[in-house]
Homo-oligomer: A and B are copies of this chain.
Amino acid sequence: MPLTKEHKKESKQKILKSAFQLFTIKGFKLVTIDMLMTNCGLTRGAFYSHFTSKSEVYNESLKYAATETILTQLKPKNITDKSWLTLLLDGYLSLDHINGIRPCPLAFLATDVVNRNNETKDTYATIFDGMNNAIMTYTQKYSLCTKEDILAVTSMIIGAVAICRTIKDPKSISNILKACRLEAGRKLGGI
């Protein structure tokens, strides 16, 4: 086991990835340092040579999550902005997303971040801005979408995903996803 800087960096990345998975799904309080480390093949004690506290790793994992969410995927070159946005929207309002595939922290941690520190709230706000800007960039190419339109859409799809995660009945979930998908498509210039 090499004691190099690369090795340390690699470990830290593993911890962050593990933290991202666990925190987004279970929230701050229900994740223990032990889970976090066991989940990536390390032990509890080793945690503190990478982070100073649980709050710190939560915040950093949120930043990490921002780069891993559905909407931050890079657009393939052989596809138009319009149809790419369609794909992203379909993915966001999908059962896979509800079930935790590439979870968006904005939806999964909406009420969890309220009780964290200010730094974490700022991170959340930054990710939210990023989401709105990303959609803005895509829609600009083919439609006249206002910032207000996009805020209404992002609030709706984040809300829909958050609600669907708490509801068990498949029919209800499907109804919510469909209704919001339709409405979002209309608002974003007919997609």
Contacts and interface: CB of A to CB of B under 8 A. Distances in A.
Interface of A: 26-27, 29-30, 106-115, 118, 121-122, 124-125, 128, 147-149, 151-152, 154-160, 162-163, 165-169, 172, 175-176, 178-180, 182-183, 187
A162 B165 contact: no
Contacts of A107: 111
27 contacts: A27-B29, A27-B111, A29-B29, A29-B30, A107-B111, A108-B111, A109-B111, A111-B111, A111-B112, A121-B166, A124-B166, A124-B167, A125-B166, A125-B172, A128-B163, A128-B167, A147-B179, A148-B183, A155-B157, A155-B160, A156-B156, A156-B159, A158-B159, A158-B162, A158-B163, A159-B159, A159-B160
Contacts of A178: 148
B30 A113 contact: no
Contacts of A122: 168
A156 B152 CA distance: 7
Copies in the complex: 2
Complex A-B, nearest 6 residue pairs according to Cβ-Cβ distance, in ascending order: A159-B159, A29-B29, A156-B156, A152-B183, A151-B179, A148-B179
A132 B160 CA distance: 13
A149 B180 CA distance: 9
B110 A168 contact: no
Nearest to A109: B111
Nearest to A26: B115
Nearest to A122: B168
B125 A168 contact: yes
B27 A115 contact: yes
Greatest chain B CB density within 10 A among A115, A118, A169 is at: A115
A84 B154 CA distance: 27
